[in-house]
Chain A
Amino acid sequence: MSTTDPPGKSVLATTTAAEVDRPQTRPQTPRRKGWPIAWALVAPFVFFYGLFLIYPAIQVCYLSLTNSDIAGQGGFIGLRNYVELMRDRDFWDSVVHTIYFVLLTVVPNTAVGFFLALLVVRLKRLRLPILSAFFLPYILPVSVVTTSALWILDANFGIFNYLTGNTTAWFQDPHAAMPAVALVTIWWTVGFNMLLFIAGLQNIPADCYEAAAIDGANGFQKFINITCPLIWPVASLVLVLQLIAQFKIFDQVYLLTGGGPYNSTTVVLLYMYRQAFQQNRGGYASAVAIMLVIIIILVSAVQFQLLRGRRAK
């Protein structure tokens, strides 16, 4: 059992890094000439992983320096794609739209997840059905979610506008479209965040609350001084996962608005998709993909610093 991590507290981002760095100091098993069998065990995974993940990852870097079409025909043109990208207004618009979407979803989705977790975790007999109710949308295919959204938020016949006396054409109005996509995304995915928060809340030792109760703390004080600081590691994990996930927005936008109205919801991956499969510019689209990866890495690094600073306090 000595190799077990303390249950519940391990957080992927840190665990994996730690695991990689940790020297293999297991004083165990008789050594035998193990490497052929070891390689036989890892071979199938490494084969698929290398061919369908690592190779394309390298290839996308190279392609971004070529003028290839989508069949891969084309020559090396150096950094010309990137130079063009710098001046490509449509690309920068798509970056702005993506960041707008990220702002609309990351913090609200985390906050709503936390709120729902607080509501669910105190239930006893109703807990499982209520938890399932909030989590169920998460296991639906994205196209089912968007079909429901298009129907419920339909401008003329949708039940939402009927019940609220609204006349907004949610996915046709350039100002309403992105918030509507964000709202649908939160409804769809918040169950996942809620689940992580529930796990985090359950891991807060009951002694802490008992000790606080003896000291005469009321519910609000307990929440501020015990729950909030102790849930922070989970909250920062959720924020990191959310940030990376929301930058990759494609499916919902493609299915709900197709990037419209007036390109107001064209996000980076949608722009990449159009360049690759509609304009037949595989090289240029690869440069867009590389830019997205760079943006994600930069923003995650900044966020990581911010969250760490917060934790240190």
Chain B
Amino acid sequence: MKERQPSILGATCTVLTVILALIWLFPIYWIAATSLKPETQTIAMPPTFVPSPPTLESFVYVVQNSPIFRWYLNTVWVSAVVTFCSVLFALMCSYALSRLEFRGKPLIYALLLVGFMLPFSTMAIPLFMLMNRLHFVNSYAGLILPQIATPLSVIVFKQFFDAVPADFRHAAVIDGAGEFRILFNIYVPLNWSIIWAMGIVTFIGTWNNFFWPFIITNSTPMLTIPVGMTQVQSAYGIAFAKTSAIAVMASIPTAVAYLLFQKRVTQGVMAAAGIKG
């Protein structure tokens, strides 16, 4: 008797979980459905739950009447450069912290801790002034440069490098390999999975970043997608199908990246929170 009870309870639980998950996904479905409706159908009462017939007219309108492809390009470029530089520099720095002794090391640790405690947004004002003085407002440099140094990646990579047996480096040093070669030929290949994970998480994070691009850009051709789409909305007024269409376009890249690299994203998110997956 005792064995059977949990299985009924378990089945109920599973059904409830599935229903809850569907409710959780409903807003995403609703945005996708709205983007495929003609504008008049979106405000019809009672609402139609499945667009019939589905139409792409909102997408066509958005593509023709907003610089969305320019924003796409901006966002891809910014996210790619930030991800590449941030991962590369973090790898180099964490390797030195993990494997080399040098003067100034305690200072770097202290600065890393400071960076953890200070929220980026509270530094937006001096950062904006600095960018203004360097004439980087409304430029790729202004968007990219402040996002490159990510202390979190340094800490995560350092933990993984610490776990590599010291003999590996020892042997390579005896063979006469330089530190850069040891890093890129031994330490990087050994830790590919976490590097990938942090890379994808950095990419998604940069793609989605709203606050800094919002502060540093105000000219339409320089906006990134998350900032640009909010401008379109205020320009369209009430146009639910069109704003939904642009929302769908803005989220497709990150959603696809997540669904393709699910395991890596999960690993990266957990590593960033300090839990090794």
Contact = CB atoms under 8 A, between A and B. Distances in A.
A159 B102 contact: no
B107 to A, nearest CB: 9
A216 to B, nearest CB: 10
Interface in B97-133: 97, 99-104, 106, 108-130, 132-133
B226 A141 contact: yes
A187 B250 contact: no
Contact of B169 (A19, A29, A290): A29
Given A63-B126, A292-B122, A130 B146 contact: no
Instruction: Give the most central of B6, B120, B127, B257: most A CB within 10 Å.
Output: B127
Given A41-B179, A56-B126, A286-B126, A143 B250 contact: yes
Contacts of B119: 244, 247-248, 292-293, 296
Contacts of A195: 266, 269-270
Instruction: Decide if the interface of chain B is mainly helix, strand, loop or mixed.
Output: helix
Interface string A106-131: 00000000001001101100101110
Interface size of B as a range = 35 or more
Nearest to B99: A29
Interface residues of A, number: 110
Nearest to B258: A139
Nearest to A44: B89
B275 A70 contact: no
Contacts of B133: 72
A70 B124 CA distance: 11
Interface string B29-49: 011001000000011011100
Given A29-B166, A72-B133, A147-B233, A192 B269 contact: yes
B162 to A, nearest CB: 5
B14 A134 contact: no
Interface string B3-29: 000100010011011101110110110
A52 B123 CA distance: 9
Interface of A: 1, 3-5, 7-8, 10-13, 15-17, 19-20, 24, 26, 28-32, 34-35, 37-39, 41-42, 44-46, 48-57, 59-60, 63, 68, 70-72, 116, 119-120, 122-123, 126, 128-130, 132-137, 139-144, 147-149, 151-152, 154, 156-157, 159, 162, 187, 192, 195-196, 199-200, 219, 234, 237, 241, 244, 247-248, 250-251, 255, 269, 272-273, 276-277, 282, 285-286, 289-290, 292-293, 296-297
